[in-house]
Amino acid sequence: MDTQTFIQLFEQSFRKNFDLPALTDYRTTTSFTYGELAREIAKLHILFNECAIQPGDKISLIGKNTAHWSIVHLATITYGAVIVPILQDFNPNDVGHIINHSESKLLFCSDAIWDNLDEEKLLHIQGAFSMTTLRLLFQRDEEQLDIVLSQLDDKFREKYPNGFTAKDIVYSDLPDSEILVLNYTSGTTGFSKGVMITGGNLKGNMDFAHEIIGLKPGDRMLSFLPLAHTYGAAFDYQYALTEGCDITLLGKTPAPKILVQAFADVKPVLVIAVPLILEKIYRKMIIPILGKKPMTWALSIPVLDTQIYAQIRKKLIHAMGGQLRQVIIGGAAFNSEVEDFLLKIKFPVSVGYGMTECAPLISFSLYPQFVPHSCGKVLASMEARIDSPDPYHIVGEIQVSGQNVMKGYYKNEEATQAVFTEDGWLRTGDLGTIDRNNNLFIRGRCKSMVLGSNGQNIYPEEIEAKLDNLPFVMESLVVERNKKLVALVYPDYDALDAIGLSADDLPLIMEQNLKTLNGRVAAYEKISIIQLYPNEFEKTPKKSIKRYLYN
């Protein structure tokens, strides 16, 4: 059994992979080897020490995914302080609230974000620094951080007079029981809470990934999920760094066109994604091919369909850089039609399940062991149970226990008590079942379930999955209005333009979609009307729709 702490995983990897490439900002000259990364971390450790930062003190970080963001994040953790990564999508008032609520002593942020913050309202901050250049943005009157910064290079040379080497990489011996991350969730049910994540929680995720995923030094990764969220942070970034991988940070919105070019440039061996990414690629690349009459005819012939599916799989892997070994989907529900097709063509995709409160992983199985429509097998370090009289067949709330489960919500004992059962299991808020092999199957969120007129449980997410694959539907949301189910639809205007149709044609198209949809769902799940919605639905950074805004 591995006795290293979470912090020591980085210490070992940075020493071992000292000369290998570590972090690169996409299409820039900014790049760091593991040795250069460790050197920058060491410099920040001196800064923290000069600022009298103690183990357990909070340091806030906000900005887009870059190598410099990662350096601050890693420096904080390996020093033994607590990182407070803030999603840059939060509005300035929420950012200020999080900085104050966490009692952060230092702040690192992008210049653009700093311009929108009111420093006078940041109650505990001793100083704020530019995330990229370390330029001093703000200091309290009694502080002398400007002097500290001016002397930083000299102090670094004094500490390492013979140059910085792999032997100089020595990090905090903080035990895994201590908190390392205070992650403010961006959940779909309201204002965020500060999740206290320990080194042990993070180590549980790293150990599982090391055993199951098995990346190697030099393997290429393209990181495009928000690193301030636990999903992207754990597997796109932290796990990859502990294995010595070569990570390119996209640093921009992962639109399909941008991603396809980045895939071609980077040629990743593993892709960590949310469902929306693959669903958009499926709609833009695969559906147009399948819709052609010769293709429809060819797929009806058993001998030909295998060859065609192999060609589609090859084309899809080529579109993702050509070196792909696995795609892991998480963060939200995966459209079942897309999943079925990808598995039919033997595309190496699997789905995991987790939440911020588990740092984040609860269940996962690697392709091809992955069971279709499941969220994988519950981790060996975790336990899951269904709050149901028959957990194999009757849906109930998923409750979990184990190494990955958070310590609680920071300064919020009421919320902490509410999220745990009397016997100490975490209430996930998700509904599902489990099979006898410990595979989890998600049906929806407790708070989004609708009770039918005759007592039937209706899961809007399952209806939306069917509707999203009908013509000219970009995304949908099923809500209850006046005891009836209504579907809000944001249309796919690009698809309309591509074949010469206009918005005036949408009512007739949606009328046909309504008939098609209601023919595919149970009688109690039928939609009364489809209402067109003018904009994309507001989402969390992990691309889950903020349902509470539309009820």
- Tens digit of pLDDT for each residue in 414-428? 999 999 999 999 999
Inside any domain, residue 219: no
For the ranges 138-142, 353-357, 504-508, the lowest mean pLDDT is seen at: 138-142
Domain C-terminal end among 445, 462, 488: 445
Dihedral of CA atoms 294, 299, 304, 306 in degrees, nearest 10, equals 140
463 and 436 in a single domain? The answer is: no
What local confidence, expressed as pLDDT, does residue 542 receive? 64
Q: Is the pLDDT of residue 454 over 80?
A: no
Q: Is the pLDDT of residue 75 over 60?
A: yes
pLDDT band at 189 (very low <50, low <70, confident <90, very high): very low
Average pLDDT over all residues of the chain: 91
**In sequence order, what E strands does 302-359 have?**
326-329, 349-351, 353-354
SS3 at position 391: coil
Average pLDDT over residues 389-405: 96
What local confidence, expressed as pLDDT, does residue 298 receive? 57
20 and 81 in a single domain? The answer is: yes
What's the whole-model pTM score? 0.85
Inside any domain, residue 20: yes
Q: What's the structural domain count of the chain?
A: 3
Inside any domain, residue 284: yes
Which range marks the domain in which residue 476 is found? Answer: 450-549
- Predicted confidence (pLDDT) per residue in 238-294, tens digit: 999 999 999 999 998 888 889 999 999 999 999 999 888 888 888 788 877 776 655
Q: Is the pLDDT of residue 99 over 60?
A: yes
Inside any domain, residue 325: yes
Inside any domain, residue 44: yes
- Predicted confidence (pLDDT) per residue in 317-333, tens digit: 999 999 999 999 987 77
475 and 419 in a single domain? The answer is: no
CATH number at residue 473: 3.30.300.30
Inside any domain, residue 94: yes
Average pLDDT over residues 362-381: 95
Q: Is the pLDDT of residue 368 over 70?
A: yes
96 and 190 in a single domain? The answer is: yes
Inside any domain, residue 408: yes
306 and 440 in a single domain? The answer is: yes
What local confidence, expressed as pLDDT, does residue 212 receive? 94
Average pLDDT over residues 71-79: 98
Judge residue 22's burial from the number of C-beta atoms within 10 Å of its C-beta, 0-12 exposed, 13-18 middle, 19 or more buried.
buried
> Can you tell me the distance from the alpha carbon of 65 to that of 254, in angstroms, rounded to the nearest whole number?
12
Q: Is the pLDDT of residue 162 over 80?
A: yes
Inside any domain, residue 240: no
Q: Is the pLDDT of residue 514 over 80?
A: yes
Q: Is the pLDDT of residue 384 over 80?
A: yes
> Can you tell me the distance from the alpha carbon of 386 to that of 408, in angstroms, rounded to the nearest whole number?
21
Instruction: Convert 101-114 into a string of H (helix), E (strand) and C (coil).
Output: HCCCCEEEECHHHH
Buried b (16+ CB within 10 A) or exposed e, 24-58: bbbeeeeebbbbbbbbbbbbbbbbbebbebeeebb
CATH number at residue 152: 3.40.50.12780
Contacts of 376 (CB under 8 A, 6+ apart): 350, 351, 352, 353, 363, 364, 365, 370, 439, 440
